[in-house]
Chains A and B, each alone.
Chain A
Amino acid sequence: MIDVENVTKTFTLHNQGGAVIPVMQGASLRVAPGECVALTGASGAGKSTLMRMVYGNYLAASGAIRVGGLDVATAEPREILALRRRTLGYVSQFLRVVPRVPTLEVVMEPCLATGMDRAAAEERARGLLARLRIPERLWSLSPLTFSGGEQQRVNIARGFAHEYPALLLDEPTASLDPANRETVLEMIAEAKAGGAAILGIFHDAEARARVCDREIDVGAFAAAA
């Protein structure tokens, strides 16, 4: 489902004398449906960079990144948008939303974008928010006013609202209390059972051991400086 092949990444800093920083070379990995693969490596090894390339957020310098048959490295923006709408989800570490939009709407949005009707989308969003223990009295407020942990849970609810066949998770259990951490691990296990291919970064070693089938050390893809 996710197939990364011989990917290279460099950053060129034009405003700092045109410095070219090679950060990754020969990155290859595969994630099959129903499988969860963890990216490991020291901070700065390129875990997030690799994940962002899979999402189309960073440009790969060379190589192929196929998700559901589309090569994200060379696809047109509108093809990537369609992929993100239907196939590829991403739970980032930080929630980015339009100010003023209520939490319930924020969580419903991915479902509405796939064409689901409002009532069904709302039911799904309510279920997820309740499951992640966001008090109902907060649902009509913008999540921008919430605590860090609450924002993280809204972000997870949003990321799981549509059942994406491929899912990227960046530290999904960071800053969660034990009960919510348990819930998120269950949700990941359910997504796997539903056939989702998951690529994740988990600093929490125990969480990683519980939901991940394999680990890939990104340090192996470090570019020779």
Chain B
Amino acid sequence: MSATSADFAPSPDGGRAGEGGSATPLLRVEALTKRYGPRIGCADVSFDLWPGEVLGIVGESGSGKTTLLNCVSGHLDPDEGRVLYDTRASGVQDVRLMSEPERRMLMRTDWAFVHQNARDGLRMTVSAGANVGERLMGVGARHYGRIRGQALDWLGKVEIAAERIDDRPAAFSGGMQQRLQIARNLVTGPRLVFMDEPTGGLDVSVQARLLDLIRGLVRELGLSAVIVTHDLAVVRLLADRLMVMKGGHVVETGLTDQVLDDPQHAYTQLLVSSVLQV
């Protein structure tokens, strides 16, 4: 925990944390509530996320899962509740009480957000290499050669050919754009990644490749992640733990395979039994 927030080298921590070694959660969400006028976005949601752990949030459209993700990740301001994060520089902090520059720095370095639509997470008018390099420059990198080198390295990690570095993402397929978005996000060595339907709208063959990639990166880099999806197959493969939401409330939580194989709540049972078998 000696690294400063400006330290953007990818974390060398290859081991799966959450091994019971750390005594405090990386992220603690307490009684988070967001209302849209009289309507509930999400209500009284609490959870802990431990280092190296992947939490899946499932539920149908309108269940509040994306609202929750946006509130936790600082994209929406919740009406009530706390978001506590164990920062590298100064320990546990309430993210909502941090100053704006501090929070921005956190979101640019130690956190990452992978949008469902890659266009929301990429700059479509600059090259692939610049998309990756920009986040590095945002945290102070200035040496062009080194930035380009790191960008190339990350393009390789997400299986984008080096010769595409100067192409604009608009010329990429949907799956490539999504992989580029992941590279752009992970280049600063974040410890916590938020993902909103990361495989939504992609062909199944492309989905499989992306899932494999995300799983490998999560393990190699020891990342913690919160993944929102309506796809139960995705969470079964990626998430350690599951939260099921309905009408803004968490109706069930537990070990992913336990929730899917022995669901306790009526809504989860309906959700699981509604999946089409291939």
Q: Which residues of B contact A (CB under 8 A)?
A: 15-16, 18-20, 50, 53, 208-209, 211-212, 215, 219, 236-237, 240-241, 254-255, 257-258, 261-262, 264-266, 269-270, 273
Contacts and interface: CB of A to CB of B under 8 A. Distances in A.
Interface in A48-63: 52, 56-59
A98 interface: yes
Given A15-B273, A78-B50, A99-B208, A113 B16 contact: yes
B264 A98 contact: no
Interface string A99-114: 1110000000000110
A56 B211 contact: no
A56 B258 contact: yes
B183 to A, nearest CB: 19
Interface in A32-60: 52, 56-59
A11 B212 CA distance: 34
Contacts, number: 66
Contact of A15 (B208, B258, B261, B270): B270
A81 interface: yes
11 contacts: A12-B264, A52-B262, A59-B258, A59-B262, A77-B255, A78-B18, A78-B20, A80-B255, A81-B18, A98-B237, A100-B209
Contacts of B211: 98-99
A-B CB proximity, top 9 nearest: A14-B266, A99-B208, A77-B255, A58-B262, A77-B241, A100-B212, A82-B20, A100-B208, A98-B212
B17 to A, nearest CB: 11
Contacts of B261: 52, 57-58
A77 B254 contact: yes
Contacts of A82: 18-20
A99 B212 contact: yes
B15 A115 contact: yes
A14 B237 CA distance: 26
A81 B52 CA distance: 12
A102 to B, nearest CB: 10
B266 A15 contact: yes
Contacts of B50: 78
Interface in A66-104: 77-82, 85, 96, 98-101
A224 interface: no
A14 B219 CA distance: 37
A179 interface: no
Most chain B CB within a 10 A radius of its CB, from A13, A58, A59: A59
